[in-house]
Amino acid sequence: MLSKLVRPEAEAAADFLVARNVSYGYETKGRPSPPPVLAAFDLVITRGEFFCLLGPSGCGKTTVLNLMAGFLSPREGTLTLDGRPITGPGVDRAVVFQSDDSLFTWLRAIDNVAFGPRMTGMDRDRRYALAREYLRLVNLEGQGDKYPGELSGGMKQRVQIARVLANDPKILLMDEPFGALDAQTRTRLQDELVDVWGKMRKTVLFITHDIAEAILLADRIGIMTRGPQAHVGEIITVELARPRRRGSPGFGELWERINALIEGTREDEQ
């Protein structure tokens, strides 16, 4: 069994996003507080890796992401990125949301992508050149003049990805970004994301409840225990060569192994 503290010998060199003993509970007025959603949550993500956080729905995956994005503050414990404590939202951590309601519907796709650079004061010509470049990267060349309402679900998620990349963050926090897409579109976007990640070598924390998705994408998969008081139980290193397919040798075995682990956490809780 792998321990919660992963690869201690490698930590000193490559620690990037670190959660130490984090707990978080939602406040309730009047009633006694329910047990915390997260407790003793430890996680170390190394620079440049693609990390998937996998867990059953309702276990607190999104809470983890909201803490790392700085939308929420932990009740206990510390969160650091590249050695600096996380105290609120910042341009070093970009979030890709599951829902496309995070897009600015009154702006064209290209203006959405140029939004971050605009906020940080980049001049007009440079930020539109940049936005065009990133739209091309996510295969949306020529679609920049459309408003989000005129784009399909898959295209909207591509705009979201281009928008965060244009801001050159240190890490991408992705919260089930393909969860609401149809199977074909999802598969395509998974491939495209791996492709983009291969080119950019950004660190990615990707949240999903889909085992196959995690295996297709991740260098390492952290499996969360069932909430409340959830934490990362097992960490699996995915050794499969890229590009990966569902039919790749070893894929099925890995799927079964992870599925057994998730089922195991269910029995633990009962």
Binding-site size, other proteins (CB under 8 A)? 26
Contact positions with other proteins (CB under 8 A) in 213-232: none
**Contact residue for other proteins among 2, 106, 201, 266 (CB under 8 A):** 106
The closest of 34, 38, 86 to 60, measured between CA atoms, is: 38
CA distance 36 to 23: 7
Contacting range for other proteins; rule: CB under 8 A; set: 41-49, 88-96, 151-159, 247-255: 88-96
H or E stretch covering 144: none
Nearer CB in complex with other proteins: 26/106: 106
Q: Is 14 helix (H, G, I), strand (E, B) or coil?
A: helix
> b vs e for 80-93, b when ≥16 Cβ sit within 10 Å of the residue's Cβ?
ebeeeebeeeeeeb
Site for other proteins contains 56 (CB under 8 A)? no
Tell me the C-alpha distance between 74 and 66, whole Å.
10
**77 vs 90, which CB is nearer to other proteins?**
90
Q: Does 255 bind other proteins (CB under 8 A)?
A: no
Q: One symbol per residue from 163 to 192: x for binding other proteins (CB under 8 A), - otherwise; what is it?
A: xx--x-------------------------
**Quick one: which of 73, 74, 68, 36 has its CA closest to 53?**
68
**Residue 147 or 255 having the CB closest to other proteins:** 147
Separation of alpha carbons 52 and 189, rounded Å: 16
> Which one of 28-36, 43-51, 54-62, 97-105 is the stretch in contact with other proteins (CB under 8 A)?
97-105
User: What DSSP letter does each residue of 214-270 carry, written as one string?
Assistant: HHHH-SEEEEEPPSSSB-EEEEEE--PPSSP-TTSTTHHHHHHHHHHHHHHHHHHH-
**Could you say which residues in the range 135-164 bind other proteins, by CB under 8 A?**
147, 163-164
Query: Which residue from 69, 193, 214, 215 is in contact with other proteins, where contact means CB under 8 A?
Result: 69
Q: Which residues sit at the interface with other proteins, rule CB under 8 A?
A: 69, 71, 88-91, 93-95, 97, 99, 101-107, 115-116, 119-120, 147, 163-164, 167
